[in-house]
């Protein structure tokens, strides 16, 4: 369990179900994300939806696509949340909104979006492509990202241009998303988002100004498609991102996690927000 269900789900006037959740202050989701300023990873929001519906007695199929996700404000240790969910519909769509339920910010939207689920997929057991060797000459990833284990997923760098990044990622066995040696495939989106952060950090390394890792936020996902159902823990896999638009502090990237058959295991578009320099 990544959240505590505080009460049985209640029905709203508009037909949605309301789940009251609490993210415990000691939740492993905050480990390494970020040291000194812990916040819930953006990719955990779809997991909250799946877990809440499952805890309510439903058997929720695998998340095949994060159709859309907009992240409005961070969730911090101990926050209480109201999750409003509608679905799944006949095509597997679940629409949701997550709000803060604390007294000082009650009703403030944290995130909203839509997921598409699937009961069976031809690529359910599809594995990521074999990871190629990392390239020498780049700074250690640990000096470029504010993430610490087990939240840090980028392992090494393979190639970089002004607008693209290719590297290796690995999901640690200690990750709170891992169950029985594997994690949901959509965690590849978080790995790619960290790859985008590495690209930005490398660009700043060339600046004469002192370099320090800056916290970046995943603020949006569009069409985050998962052809496979899961990613193995402890096994490196290739990630690639390409910058397609930028209006600082916001940037848009396409992402790709290659599959063993040469196709895409995970693909989609993300939007990131880079915090101001410390």
Per-chain mean pLDDT for the chain:
88
Q: Where in the chain is the domain with CATH 3.10.129.10?
A: 4-118, 141-274
pLDDT of the residue at 9: 78
Is the pLDDT at 126 greater than 90, yes or no? Answer: no
As a three-state string, the secondary structure of the chain is CCCEECCCCEECCCCCEEEEEECCCCCHHHCCCCCCCCCCCCCHHHHHHHHHHHHCCCCCCEEEEEEEEEECCCCCCCCEEEEEEECCCCCCEEEEEEEECCCCCCCCEEEEEEEEEECCCCCCCCCECCCCCCCCCCCCHHHCCCCCCCCCCEEEEEEECCCEEEEEECCCCCCCCCECCEEECCHHHHHHHHHHHHHHHHHHHCCCCCCCCCCEEEEEEEEEEECCCEEECCCCEEEEEEEEEEECCEEEEEEEEEECCCCEEEEEEEEEEECCCC
Radius of gyration of the chain (CA): 18
pLDDT of the residue at 147: 95
Contact 93, 53 (CB under 8 A): no
Query: In this structure, what token pair is assigned to residue 255?
Result: 């992402």
> 17-22 and 4-5: which strand pairing?
antiparallel
Per residue in 5-23, pLDDT (tens digit) is: 777 778 887 888 898 988 8
Q: Which CATH class name applies to 4-118?
A: alpha beta
Report pTM.
Answer: 0.92
Handedness of CA 255, 131, 215, 109 (dihedral sign): positive
Is the pLDDT at 231 greater than 70, yes or no? Answer: yes
pLDDT of the residue at 15: 82
What's the pLDDT band for 219 if we cut at 50, 70, 90? very high
Is the pLDDT at 222 greater than 90, yes or no? Answer: yes
pLDDT of the residue at 257: 96
Instruction: Name which residue leads in pLDDT, 50 or 185.
Output: 185
Tell me how far apart the alpha carbons of residues 77 and 137 are, in angstroms, rounded to a whole number: 38
Q: Tell me what the mean pLDDT of segment 45-58 comes to.
A: 82
Tell me how far apart the alpha carbons of residues 252 and 276 are, in angstroms, rounded to a whole number: 18
Per residue in 132-189, pLDDT (tens digit) is: 888 899 999 999 999 999 999 999 999 999 999 999 999 999 999 998 999 999 999 9
- Fold annotation for 141-274: Thiol Ester Dehydrase; Chain A (3.10.129)
What's the pLDDT band for 229 if we cut at 50, 70, 90? confident
Q: Tell me what the mean pLDDT of segment 61-77 comes to.
A: 92
């Amino acid at each position: 369990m990544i959240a505590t269900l505080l009460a049985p789900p209640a029905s709203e006037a508009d037909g949605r179900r309301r789940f009251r959740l609490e993210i415990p202050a000691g939740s492993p989701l905050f480990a390494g994300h970020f040291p000194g300023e812990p916040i819930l990873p953006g990719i955990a929001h779809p997991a909250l939806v799946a877990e809440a519906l499952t805890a309510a007695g439903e058997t929720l199929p695998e998340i095949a696509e994060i159709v859309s996700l907009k992240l409005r404000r961070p969730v911090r240790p101990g926050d209480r949340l109201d999750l409003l969910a509608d679905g799944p519909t006949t095509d597997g769509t679940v629409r949701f909104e997550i709000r803060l339920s604390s007294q000082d910010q009650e009703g403030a939207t944290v995130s909203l979006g839509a997921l598409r689920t699937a009961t069976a997929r031809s690529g359910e057991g599809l594995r990521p492509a074999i990871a190629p060797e990392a390239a020498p000459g780049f700074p250690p990833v640990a000096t470029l990202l504010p993430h610490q284990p087990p939240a840090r997923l980028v392992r090494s760098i393979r190639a970089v241009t002004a607008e693209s990044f290719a590297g290796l990622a690995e999901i640690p066995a200690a990750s709170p998303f891992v169950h029985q040696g594997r994690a949901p495939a959509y965690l590849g989106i978080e790995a790619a988002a960290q790859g985008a952060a590495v690209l930005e950090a490398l660009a700043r390394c060339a600046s004469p100004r002192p370099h320090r890792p800056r916290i970046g936020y995943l603020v949006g996902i569009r069409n985050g498609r998962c052809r496979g159902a899961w990613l193995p823990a402890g096994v490196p896999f290739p990630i690639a991102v390409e910058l397609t638009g930028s209006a600082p502090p916001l940037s848009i990237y396409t992402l790709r996690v290659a599959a063993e058959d040469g196709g895409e295991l995970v693909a989609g578009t993300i939007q990131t927000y880079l915090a101001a320099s410390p």
